[in-house]
Amino acid sequence: MVKIKNLSFGYGKEKLFTALDVELVPGNIYGLLGRNGAGKTTLLKLISGLRFPQDGECRVLNYIPQKRLPGMLEELYFIPEEFFVPPISMGAYEKIYAPFYPRFDRKALADYLKEFDLDSKKKLTELSYGQKKKFLLAFGIATNCRICLLDEPTNGLDIPSKSQFRKILASALTDDRIIFVSTHQVRDMENLIDPIIILEDGQIIFNRYIHDISRHLIIQMEHDPLQTGDVLYSAKVLGGYAVVKKNRSGEESRMDLEILFNAVITNREKINELFPKEV
Amino acid sequence: MKTQSLKRNNYFSPGRFFLLLKRDFLTNYRTIIITTAAVAGFVIFSSSISALTHSREEFHSKLYFMLLYLGGFIVTSRAFKEMYNSRKSYTYVTLPGSTLEKFSVKLISTSIGYVLGTLLIYSVIAAISEGLNQLLFGYTHALLSPFSRAFLIGAAAFLVIQGLFLAGAAFFKKNAFIKTILMLTLLAIALLIFATFAARLIFPGSFEGLHQMNQEFNSMRELTEWLGLTEVRLRMVGRTIRLVLRILFWAVLAPLCWTISYLKFRKIEA
């Protein structure tokens, strides 16, 4: 559904991606993690046709995104971290923009707005940043697009809104849909994003399903990580050390995405060696 | 059959075109209302001053064309502003509509749409202002006559020159209006220099000692003798140059500018 092969891209002379390969298949909420400047937003822009690859291939639903053909755009919704809303009411926004999406679900939008406690008569410019974002998230999910690209969706949301968002997102996932979430707020997205994709140095350095990760890795608390063997990564936390080790028991363990991310960034070769093949 | 229809729809669909047109209008109608109110105030005020001094019969046609050209070029220069604004571009670019549909909306709304829209609005404002002038000063100016030859040529010339500003809007990220005027000025200077050099190459003898002489041509014969051409040949050259320039202006310039703008519009990254 989304296939990126040997893709290169950079800003000016500085290369961001060189020979990037990734494939996204329907029925998943992908979590895209990476440090600042790793290229998460750029990757979303390349998929949505906002930026053009300098080399290699990017295909979305068999379309070339840079052609920006309606057949692809009707099935793709992108919510960036920084956005603009016109000075019109939410109801007017729906009337103007919903007809562009053939499978737009007006009832679902009304339900999501109710869930987010938003009044559709209110003007978008009178809303707070978090409320604007909630409206765009609700609208984007109600489009029923097969590909939803969300850049830092939980930034600016208050605590109740984050859980409402998780609930809506989980219910919106269908077998023919890809939800691709770029985030730094891994704790907000825990138990929701799966697989996990980590972007570093212009490459996808990690791309695994959670059940696969927890079968091969275990994260546990230790008093002294030096006394135990097989430590791939350790971080001092309240009450001891969070330690990432090879899972020898084969039993699935609970994943802490923040610890996992740091472990992969600091010890990517050894961690990847533990996995038989990529998803 | 279904695939063919999908393929065709990926490039131009009237339904999507009108949705895009409606979106452009509904998201900009406040600006249109405020601008209309400001123009109405200006027209009524200046028309009453003109009526008070009983000056100029052609007041409205002159003011209309001033507003059409100046306002039209400014509006055209802002046609692709949304594409160059990082916070707005994502909505516009990812909006389901082909590049041709999006470009056509911008082209039509800033060219023929702008002419018809301003003509309608201005006619209403002019009628109101002349009603007031009649009541207050007992003097009125002639209203616009959109089917007169002068009006049609003026509007057609706007549609041609507008293409240059559309190309400017596609190429310049910021201050497109000023940059387009600057570019056109530089282009005019370059053409003048080129024409001078070309003339010197074609008629090398005619420029010998030109700076020293105080030459005045009292008849066509004197001019042809000086250039070393027959009168018939000179008239033919003149007619050919005029014809070529007319064809370039009325038939080539606008479509060329639209094509260049479209090609650039396709390649704008957000």
Domain definitions of chain B by residue range = 2-267
Task: Check: CB of residue B76 under 8 Å from CB of residue B166.
Answer: yes
pLDDT confidence of residue B264: 97
Name the residue in chain A with its Cα closest to that of B7. A71
| Mean pLDDT lowest among A111-115, A194-198, A262-266, B225-229 | B225-229
ipTM reported for the complex, 2 dp: 0.91
Query: Structure pTM?
Result: 0.90
Instruction: List CB contacts (< 8 A) between B16 and chain A.
Output: 70, 100
Q: Which residues of chain B have a Cβ shorter than 8 Å from any chain A Cβ?
A: 6, 9-11, 13, 16, 19, 22-23, 26-27, 30, 85-91, 93-99, 101, 267, 269-270
- The amino acid present at B156, given as its one-letter code, is A
Q: How far is B7 from chain A (nearest CA, A)?
A: 9
Task: Check: CB of residue A255 under 8 Å from CB of residue A188.
Answer: no
Contacts for A147 with CB less than 8 Å, ≥ 6 apart: A1, A2, A47, A60, A61, A75, A76, A77, A177, A178, A180
Mean pLDDT across A139-157: 96
Task: Specify which residues A222 forms β-bridges with.
Answer: A241
Name the residue in chain B with its Cα closest to that of A77. B94
> What is the DSSP secondary structure assignment for residue A26, as one 8-state letter?
S
pLDDT confidence of residue B42: 96
Q: Which residues of chain A have a Cβ shorter than 8 Å from any chain B Cβ?
A: 45, 48-52, 67-71, 73-74, 76-78, 80, 82-84, 86-88, 92, 96-97, 99-101
Q: Tell me: pLDDT of A41 over 90.
A: yes
Mean pLDDT across A42-55: 97
Instruction: List CB contacts (< 8 A) between B85 and chain A.
Output: 84
In chain A, the percentage of residues whose pLDDT exceeds 70 is: 99
- DSSP secondary structure letters along A179-227: EEEE-S-HHHHTTT-BSEEEEETTEEEEEE-HHHHHHHEEEEEES-GGG
The pLDDT averaged over each successive group of 10 residues in chain B (270 residues) is 50 95 93 95 94 82 96 97 93 96 98 97 96 92 94 97 98 97 97 89 69 63 73 85 95 98 95
| Mean pLDDT lowest among A23-27, A152-156, B208-212, B223-227 | B208-212
In this structure, the strands spanning A28-34 and A196-200 are parallel
Please state, in angstroms and rounded to a whole number, the distance separating the CA atoms of residues B40 and B20: 28
> Which has the higher per-residue pLDDT, A194 or B202?
A194
Burial of A95 per CB tally in 10 Å (0-12, 13-18, 19+): middle
Please state, in angstroms and rounded to a whole number, the distance separating the CA atoms of residues A256 and A261: 9
Task: Check: CB of residue A30 under 8 Å from CB of residue A44.
Answer: no
Q: How far is A188 from chain B (nearest CA, A)?
A: 25
Structure tokens at A48: 């949505």
Instruction: List CB contacts (< 8 A) between A140 and chain B.
Output: none
Nearest by CB to A73, from B87, B88, B96: name it: B96
Instruction: List CB contacts (< 8 A) between B22 and chain A.
Output: 96
Please state, in angstroms and rounded to a whole number, the distance separating the CA atoms of residues A185 and A189: 7
Question: What stretch(es) of chain A map to CATH 3.40.50.300?
Answer: 26-50+68-208
Of the residues A41, A64, A73, A180, the best mutation for testing chain B's interface (the one with the most B CB atoms within 10 Å of its CB) is A73
Please state, in angstroms and rounded to a whole number, the distance separating the CA atoms of residues A210 and B129: 73
Which pLDDT band, with edges at 50, 70 and 90, does A137 fall under? Answer: very high
Q: Tell me: pLDDT of A190 over 50.
A: yes
SS3 for B138-174, per residue?
A: CCCCCCCCCCCHHHHHHHHHHHHHHHHHHHHHHHCCC
Instruction: List CB contacts (< 8 A) between A88 and chain B.
Output: 26-27
Domain made up of A26-50+68-208: CATH architecture: 3-Layer(aba) Sandwich (3.40)
Q: Tell me: pLDDT of A279 over 80.
A: no
Instruction: List CB contacts (< 8 A) between B82 and chain A.
Output: none
